[in-house]
Amino acid sequence: METRVTRLLGIEKPVLQGGMAWVSEGRLAAAVSNAGGLGIIACGAAEPEWVEEQVKLARSLTDKPIGCNVMMMSPYVAQIAPMLAELKVDVITTGAGSPSDYIPIWKEAGCKVVPVIPSAALAKRMERIGADAVVAEGCESGGHIGELTTMALIPAVCEAVSIPVIAAGGIADGRGLLAAFALGAEGVQMGTRFLASEECRVAQAYKDKVVAAKDSDTIVTGRAGGHPVRQLKNAFARKVKAAESESGAAEELVLAGSLRRAVEGDVTGGSMMAGQIACLVKEQKTCKQIIDDLFEQVEAWSGLSLQQMADRNASRSWFCGEGGE
C-alpha cells in the first residue's frame, strides 16, 4: 500500500516508531526501519555526540530512511538542529516547542519535518511554517501528553490542515490502526508497542511491566504543574502523586532522572513511561514481528462493511496474535 505518508517519508508501511527519550536509540530505530516502518532516534536532552553516534549506528544497520525526534527544550538544541541537517537525517519529528527557527535549514538539507502536536491550532501553525506532515498525538499516549484524545484530535486536526496527519496515542494493533484511518489519518505512530520489542534497550523488568499492564495501570502525574506525564503505576508514581496533592506542583524536580532509572531496570523507583494501550501489548516481539502482525491484522479486517465488523465483533474473532485465540 501507498499513502502520502509512505511516499513522503520513503517507507514501505505507514508506521512510525515514536521518539522516546532514553529509550529509542539507533538500534531500535534501525530495526523498525528495516521492518518497513520509520525508526526514530529520540534526542531528548542527550548531548550532540551521543545523537551523532546513534545516527551513525542506525545508518550502519540499515539503508532505509531513519528519523530523529528533537525535543525543542533540550539544552543542546542549537547544536543538534544544524547537526541533523548536516547528517541529512531523512525525517525530523519535533516536540516540546516550536521548530520554526530550524525548519529552513532542515528543509534545505532535504529533511522532512514532522512536528508532534496536541491540538488543531498547533497543527495549523506548523503547516503554515512549512511542516511536511504532523503527528497528532492523543493523551492516551505515554510520556508527556496533551489534553485531547485520539478520537477527538485526529478528525479535528484533519479538518484544520491539508498536510498528512499521522495518528499517535492508543494504537498497538490492527484495530487501532484501522480506527485511526477511519478518523482521517494517513499513517500511525506507535511508542508503547515498540517499547516492548526485542530490540528496545529498556530493561527486561520494564518491558515485563508493559506486557503485564491492564487498562487501568497507567497514571498521569504533573497535571498541577502543567506538564502532565503518563506512566505505569508504581511506588514512584504514587510518591509523585502524593507530593502533588500536598504541595501542588513540586513534581518537576522529582522527575529528573526518573525515566532513566526505569530504563535501567528500577521498576519501583523509576518512572516507567507508557501509554494506556499497554493493555493490548501482550507479548514481547521483534520489531519485524510487530509490524508484520499489525499488517496481517489490517489486511484481514480492511474493507469490512459496518455489518461485517459488527459480526466479527460479536464473535470476538479479532483475537489473533498478541496472546489471543
Helix ranges (H only) for 112-248 are: 120-128, 150-160, 174-183, 192-195, 204-212, 235-247
d(Cα 91, Cα 51) in Å, to the nearest integer? 14
**Nearest distance from residue 183's CB to a copy of itself, in Å?**
5
Return the number of the residue (30 or 120) whose C-beta is nearest a copy of itself.
Answer: 120
The secondary element (H helix, E strand) that includes residue 290 is helix 287-301
Instruction: Give min distance, CB of 45 to a copy of itself, in A.
Output: 27
Pairing of strands 134-137, 165-168: parallel
**Minimum gap (Å) between residue 268 Cβ and a copy of itself:** 22
Q: Which is nearer to a copy of itself, 26 or 37 (CB)?
A: 37
**CB of residue 210 to a copy of itself, shortest distance in Å:** 14
Neighbours of 247 (CB within 10 A): 11
* CA distances to 178, 259, 284, 291, 315 from 207, in Å: 26, 13, 8, 18, 31
Rounded to whole angstroms, how far apart are CA atoms 296 and 175? 11
Minimum distance between the CB of residue 133 and a copy of itself, rounded to whole angstroms?
11
Instruction: Enter the C-alpha cell of residue 28.
Output: 531500535
Q: Which is nearer to a copy of itself, 26 or 174 (CB)?
A: 174
Closer to a copy of itself at the Cβ: 245 or 256?
Answer: 245
Could you tell me which residues are beta bridge partners of residue 40? 67
If the CB atoms of residues 255 and 281 are measured against a copy of itself, the closer one turns out to be 281
54 vs 276, beta carbon nearer a copy of itself: 276
Q: Which of 158, 103, 152 is nearest to 132 (CA)?
A: 103
In terms of CB distance, is 65 or 155 closer to a copy of itself?
155
Find how far residue 197's CA is from the centre of its chain: 14
Least spacing, CB of residue 283 vs a copy of itself, in Å:
14
**Measured distance CA(18)–CA(213) in Å, rounded:** 19
> Beta-strand (E) ranges in the chain?
15-17, 39-42, 66-71, 91-95, 112-117, 134-137, 143-144, 165-168, 187-190, 218-221, 229-232
Shortest distance, position 132 Cβ to a copy of itself, whole Å: 14
In the complex with a copy of itself, the residue whose CB is nearer, 105 or 151, is 151
Least separation in angstroms between residue 123's CB and a copy of itself is: 10
Listed residue (84, 112, 113, 118) closest to 99, CA to CA: 113
